[in-house]
Amino acid sequence: MEVLDYRSCFAINTSAKDGEEQNTCRTQLLARCVLTDKSSGQSEQFFLGKECIGEYMYQERGIAQVPTSEVCTIFGAQDSSLLKKFANHDNDVIQPGAMTVPRKGFDGSYANWTSLNFVLKEATARPLQNTDEIIAATLAGEPLVGRTTLDDAEGDWQAVLEYPIPYMNVHPPEDCFQVDVGPILYPDFAATAPSLVERLQLAYVMYNQLDAAEFALRVPTQVAEGQSATTLHYAEVIKMAAPSILYSLETT
């Protein structure tokens, strides 16, 4: 079977101000979430892009925008969302919308995307059937990809979360493994936002069995007890029944 090889998967988008193209950006993709409406059978997929630091483009000096911000994008064929995280949580920005929607930049100007394309390369993969195979593939340095399936309690939605596994734990004497990967995309099935991209949040996924998983969700978090200041941190931990499959990718 074929599975995405995230080492060679990218989103490529071009942005413009006032109709004049300013920049084309290639972003490596870190994870995928496929959301399926069970009643209609319609699916939509979203990708999480690698984060960067807010930057001015092609200046000889002063590239970094100050105050600095961590910027990442959730890409979708219809709607995408730009997430900017500053040291001061009050300045964080979430900008969802279609490709043509102008988004306000650091300097107050607006830009929109004129194109968005995905480079999605696949590799031949085999599912790892048991813990012994998982441990052997891990210690052999084989590229690994995981898939975890979530169903909402109401039975309306299903989400398939997919992610490469750059960090892996194994303990051969006890025949144990443990996945710890993030950030990935996690769906809030209770959200009522008008677009699906707004119902996704960042999370880490962890599991040491293939029928249940824990998620650490990035949420507004109090910095210190008794203080009102908050930041975004992976502070909300939930555990649920969720089947996962691990794949080993063939290398050339």
Per residue in 33-59, pLDDT (tens digit) is 999 999 899 999 999 999 999 999 998
Can you read off the two tokens belonging to residue 207? Answer: 């599991």
Question: Higher confidence at residue 221 or residue 28?
Answer: 28
Q: What pLDDT, on a 0 to 100 scale, did the predictor assign at position 14? A: 96
Identify the pLDDT of residue 107. 84
Residue 85: count of CB within 10 angstroms of its CB? 21
| Residues 123-133: tens digit of each pLDDT | 999 999 999 99
92: nearest Cα among 237, 236, 229, 235: 229
Radius of gyration of the chain (CA): 19
DSSP structure class, residue 51: P
How many Å apart are CA 135 and CA 66, to the nearest integer?
45
Which is nearest to 73 in space by CA: 41, 107, 103?
A: 103
pLDDT in tens, 97-108: 998 899 988 888
Cα within 13 Å of Cα(134), Cβ side: 23
Contacts of 5 (CB under 8 A, 6+ apart): 121, 122, 123, 143, 145, 249
DSSP state for residue 124 in the 8-state scheme: E
One DSSP character per residue, 52-111 reads: EE-B-SS-SS--B-SS-EEEEEEEESSEEEEEEEESSGGG-EEEEEETTS-EE-TTS-EE
Q: Which tokens is 76 given?
A: 């979708």
Res 228 pLDDT > 80: no
pLDDT band with cut points at 50, 70 and 90 for residue 171: very high
Domain range list for the chain = 2-31+45-119, 125-249
